Amino acid sequence: MSWDGHEAPDTRALLEIARTTLMEAVIPALTGDARFKALMVANAMAIARREDGPAAAAVHAAVRELGDVAALCAAIRAGAHDPGSADHDRIAASLRALAEARCRISAPKALG
Amino acid sequence: MDKPALAAWLGAEITGMALLSGGAIQQNWALDVLAGGQAQRWVLRTDAAATLAVSRSRAEEFHLLRAAHAAGVTVPEPLRLCTDRSVIGAPFFIMRRVDGLAAAHRVVRSETLAGGRQALVAALGRELARIHSIVPPRADLPFLGEPASDPCRRFVAAMRVLLDAGRLPRPMLEWGLRQLEISAPPPAATVLCHNDFRTGNYMATEAGISGILDWEFAAWGDPHEDIGWLCARCWRFGGPGEVGGVGPRAPFVAAYEAASGRRVDPARVAWWEIAAAIRWAVVAIDQAERHISGAEPSLELALTGHIVPELELDVMRAVMARAA
């Protein structure tokens, strides 16, 4: 097996075990503002871990499908993709797919 | 905080003082004082370090509270305003301290608060009706300016200005704004909108609502704007009710209509619910930017940016449901 020079465990594995430890061994002992802040830390770690996974590939694919996003925004604003236009339904579906992919990283509960 | 200077200005002895909540925009201090031999429980409200350009000054908020109090809205009674920065370093006002629960995640889980879910949404309807009884022109509220001739189109234009000032294109928000633009209802009534009337911004006890808080975004607008904000999915905090996560729409609408004499148009409410998700997304982008730019490193601001994708999904779902 080739060696890439990095010591394991990697980013994902470290974030996972660190977050598990925070949730199971630290947060139960906290109250008030410290507990609130520790829960925010746990949330940030969960988002960071999901950034380094399959959801990120789904986001990139959904963005690629949209092409030039700044130009798309200008066209949407100008009414070029209004209901009834040729690619209205396709673009609506692509934007929804992108929003869902972004939620898989930032807010997976929103998909439920 | 310069306590002796504050006590001198108040003409009262300060027996207790504690920071209640350090919002991103304002600070609230619980103040226990002896004034004229009487123990009083007050709140001192002042600016935090970072003040949003869009939010109203403490002086303006004080005058809004006075107008709301006079209109019968349940608010902490505003007592005194100090615009002299030499006292505590920033303008502040004093209001009575009210008891109650404000924390949104706990409010939406309670079955008994304010008499239960149906009673609480009905009380919210009555409070909002009283707020909306304040209509222009009002000589005591000159800072509100002239009402917009078309609140829906003004909203779309204002959001586009903010999106254009951002670093990144936001196609889902553009999509939502365009759908709102082409389905904007014509202008209707103009009233005082609270503009942040949602769970988390009112206090309630088991007996009822004890105070409508956070008036810093109030402006003239369409009454449906406040209803859409209150009912939007993004302000339900995981609660089971469509009105603020608390309870069903029917008793809220019935109470609002009975107290205001105005009809609630569900299509306008739906329009402003999509607008609510877009407005919160634009604010969240701006808040996250304060962390990203390095101006104000904060985990809370950083995480606020990650609220944006679910707001975009709210927008896409609502727009596609309307079209279907």
Report the residue of chain B nearest A74, measured CA to CA: B174
Q: Is the dihedral of CA B244, B245, B247, B249 positive or negative?
A: positive
Is the domain of A19 the same as that of A60?
no
Range in A74-78, B57-61, B316-320 with the lowest mean pLDDT: B57-61
Is the domain of A99 the same as that of A64?
yes
**Chain A residues with beta carbon closer than 8 angstroms to that of B177:** 77
Is the domain of A96 the same as that of A80?
yes
* Identity of the residue in A41, A76, A106 whose CB atom sits nearest the CB atom of B174: A76
Enclosing domain of residue A81: 54-106
Q: Is the dihedral of CA B76, B79, B83, B86 positive or negative?
A: negative
Give residues 51 to 70 of A whose Cβ lies within 8 Å of B: 66, 69-70
Record: contact B303-A40, CB cut-off 8 A: yes
Is the domain of A62 the same as that of A95?
yes
In the beta sheet, which residues pair with residue B39?
Answer: B34
Q: Find the distance separating the first CA and the last CA of chain B, reported in whole Å.
A: 57
Query: DSSP letter string over B92-148?
Result: EEEEE----B--HHHHTT-SSGGGSHHHHHHHHHHHHHHHTT--S--TT-GGG-SPP
Angle between helices B308-323 and A88-106 (to 10 degrees): 150
The number of domains in chain A is: 2
Is the domain of A102 the same as that of A61?
yes
Size of interface A-B (CB pairs under 8 A): 82
What is the C-alpha separation between B284 and B170, in angstroms, rounded?
A: 13
Q: Are B130 and B71 in contact (CB under 8 A)?
A: yes
Joined together, the tokens standing for residue B230 give 């209150």
pLDDT of residue B85: 86
CB within 8 Å of B223: residues ≥ 6 apart: B128, B132, B188, B189, B191, B193, B260, B262
Is the domain of A65 the same as that of A79?
yes
Q: Measuring CA to CA, which residue among B200, B197, B244, B245 is closest to residue B221?
A: B197
Which of A77, A94, A104 should one mutate to test binding to chain B, selecting the residue with the greatest count of B CBs within 10 A? A77
**Residue B195 banded pLDDT, cuts 50, 70, 90:** very high
* Identity of the residue in A43, A76, A110 whose CB atom sits nearest the CB atom of B175: A76
Is the domain of A36 the same as that of A63?
no
Residue A5 domain flag: no
Report the residue of chain B nearest A44, measured CA to CA: B303
* Average pLDDT of the segment spanning B177-198: 97
pLDDT exceeds 90 at position B53: no
pLDDT of residue B90: 87
Residue A16 domain flag: yes
Convert the pLDDT of each residue in B155-164 to its tens digit. 999 999 999 9
Helix, strand or coil, per DSSP, at residue B210 = strand
* Identity of the residue in B299, B314, B320 whose CB atom sits nearest the CB atom of A92: B320
Is the domain of A100 the same as that of A64?
yes
Residue A90 domain flag: yes
Is the domain of A67 the same as that of A44?
no
pLDDT of residue B22: 58
Range in A2-16, B14-28, B48-62, B90-104 with the lowest mean pLDDT: B48-62
Domains of chain B: 3-96 (3.30.200.20), 104-323 (3.90.1200.10)
Residue B139 in contact with partner chain A when CB distance is under 8 A: no
What is the C-alpha separation between B176 and B156, in angstroms, rounded?
A: 10
Is the domain of A40 the same as that of A17?
yes
**Chain A residues with beta carbon closer than 8 angstroms to that of B160:** 77
Residue A64 domain flag: yes
Residue A111 domain flag: no
Q: Are B228 and B272 in contact (CB under 8 A)?
A: yes
* Average pLDDT of the segment spanning A2-16: 92
Residue A31 domain flag: yes
Is the domain of A48 the same as that of A62?
no
Residue A90 in contact with partner chain B when CB distance is under 8 A: no
* Identity of the residue in A92, A96, A107 whose CB atom sits nearest the CB atom of B306: A107
Give residues 220 to 279 of B whose Cβ lies within 8 Å of A: none
Q: Are B125 and B116 in contact (CB under 8 A)?
A: no
Residue A112 domain flag: no
Is the domain of A47 the same as that of A61?
no
Which of B310, B311, B315 should one mutate to test binding to chain A, selecting the residue with the greatest count of A CBs within 10 A? B310
Q: Is the dihedral of CA B154, B156, B162, B164 positive or negative?
A: negative
- Provide the shortest C-alpha distance from residue A100 to chain B (in Å): 6
* Average pLDDT of the segment spanning B79-102: 93
**Chain B residues with beta carbon closer than 8 angstroms to that of A111:** 313
**Chain A residues with beta carbon closer than 8 angstroms to that of B175:** 76, 91-92, 95
Query: DSSP letter string over B145-187?
Result: -SPPS-HHHHHHHHHHHHHHHSSS--HHHHHHHHHHHHTPPPP
Convert the pLDDT of each residue in B223-237 to its tens digit. 999 999 999 999 999
Amino acid at B91: P
Joined together, the tokens standing for residue B135 give 């209509």
pLDDT of residue B1: 76
Percent of chain B with pLDDT over 90: 87
Residue A1 domain flag: no
Residue B302 in contact with partner chain A when CB distance is under 8 A: yes
Q: Phi/psi at B237 (nearest 5 deg)?
A: 55, 35
